[in-house]
Amino acid sequence: MIAEIDAFRDYLREHNLPVTAPRVAVAEVVLGSDRHLSVDEIARALAERGAPVGTATIYRTLDVLVRSGLAVERDFGEGFRRYEPARGAPQHEHLLCTVCGTVLEFRDERLERMTTLIAEGHRFARQRHRLVIYGVCERCQRGGGRVAERGSSPGAPG
């Protein structure tokens, strides 16, 4: 993860953007996490470090982080966005537990080809796709699943 932080510093320098403490702090939280963080969670994490960062700055930094390609923005239909490190991640899909909100990632090369073919069949030039499978995770199938980290019921529409 230190590598990613350095990559972010480099990105900033290369684009003549000042390398500031708040920016680096936000990058550390997002790139150092293995989860899909909401802005709220990021803000809390920063506050816990003893170096809170203003909401506006978090949003502004996330923009840069996404543009740098080091982080990815996600929308699971919860009413707010989440961010995760790109980790050079090839396209991957998400499994979302509608009970506890847990997100699992998986890859499937077939989807890349399949969606391209489907798009072509409709004369669309495919750019990307997004697949979310909603279901109930193993733990929640058994007994009481733990409470979701944030946000309302993940029983997302669409």
Partner DNA sequence: CTCATTGCAAAGGATTTGCACTAAT
Partner DNA sequence: ATTAGTGCAAATCCTTTGCAATGAG
Answer for which of 34, 114, 146, 153 binds its own copies (CB under 8 A) is 114
Answer for which of 29, 61, 76, 100 binds its own copies (CB under 8 A) is 76
Site string for its own copies, 8-37 (x = CB under 8 A): ------------------------------
C-alpha torsion sign, points 65, 67, 68, 70: positive
Q: Which does 42 bind (CB under 5 to 8 A by kind): DNA, its own copies, none?
A: none
Instruction: Encode 51-69: b = buried (16+ Cβ within 10 Å), e = exposed.
Output: eebeeebbeebbebbbebe
The C-alpha atoms of residue 125 and residue 119 are separated, in whole angstroms, by 6
The C-alpha atoms of residue 40 and residue 38 are separated, in whole angstroms, by 5
Residues between 90 and 149 with contacts to DNA, criterion CB under 7 A: none
18 sits near DNA (criterion: CB under 7 A) = yes
Q: Which does 60 bind (CB under 5 to 8 A by kind): its own copies, DNA, none?
A: DNA
Which SS3 state, helix, strand or coil, does residue 74 take? strand
The C-alpha atoms of residue 29 and residue 52 are separated, in whole angstroms, by 12
36 sits near DNA (criterion: CB under 7 A) = no
54 sits near DNA (criterion: CB under 7 A) = yes
Using only the alpha carbons of the chain, give its radius of gyration: 18
Answer for which of 6, 10, 48, 108 binds its own copies (CB under 8 A) is 108
Half-sphere exposure of 80 (CA within 13 A, CB side): 14
Binding region for its own copies (CB under 8 A): 72-77, 81, 93-95, 97-98, 104, 106, 108, 110, 114-115, 118-119, 121-138, 141, 156-158
